[in-house]
């Protein structure tokens, strides 16, 4: 199964993501979840950035929080709302929101 996980909060979701099993796991950062891609806590990047090679961040949510695409981790692909719809419907069988 190909599973897309939408992360919308800055709380630590490390344990939750570790429990998910999928053939392909995609992590999509939206709302306050975008902070995982652009900030460091205690000098360290978010552990969520280690959970999947398939990571996306919604550019509109980045910009509304004062970040630009150059500030995000290089492993994360910036996507627009239109791109996000394509990613969800073309790349994943199921999508969950945590």
User: The domain spanning residue 75 has which CATH number?
Assistant: 3.40.1260.10
Using alpha carbons, select from 11, 17, 28 the residue that is nearest to residue 95: 28
Structurally, how many domains does the chain consist of?
1
What's the pLDDT score for residue 4? 94
pTM for the full model? 0.91
Q: What is the 3-state secondary structure (H, E, C) of the chain?
A: CEEEEEECCCCCCHHHHHHCCCCEEEEEECHHHHHHHHCEECCEECHHHHCCCEEEEEHHHHHHCCCCHHHCCCCEEEECHHHHHHHHHHHCCEEEEC
What's the pLDDT score for residue 51? 87
pLDDT score of 30 more than 90:
yes
Residue 45 belongs to what domain range? 2-97
The answer to whether the beta carbons of residues 30 and 3 sit under 8 Å apart is no
For residue 29, list its beta bridge partners: 7, 57
What are the tens digits of pLDDT across the range 57-97?
A: 999 999 999 999 999 999 999 999 999 999 999 999 999 99
What's the pLDDT score for residue 16? 84
What separation in angstroms does the CA of 18 have from each of 13, 22, 26, 33? Answer: 9, 11, 13, 17
What are the tens digits of pLDDT across the range 35-59?
A: 999 988 888 899 889 888 999 999 9
């Amino acid at each position: 199964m190909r599973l897309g996980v939408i992360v919308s909060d800055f709380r630590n979701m490390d344990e939750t993501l570790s429990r998910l099993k999928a053939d392909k796991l995609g992590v999509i950062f939206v709302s306050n979840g975008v902070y995982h891609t652009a900030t460091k806590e205690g000098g360290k990047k978010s552990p969520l950035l280690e959970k999947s090679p398939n990571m996306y961040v919604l550019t509109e949510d980045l910009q509304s929080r004062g970040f630009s695409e150059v500030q995000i981790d290089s492993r994360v692909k910036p996507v627009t709302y239109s791109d996000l719809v394509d990613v969800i419907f073309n790349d994943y069988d199921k999508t969950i929101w945590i």
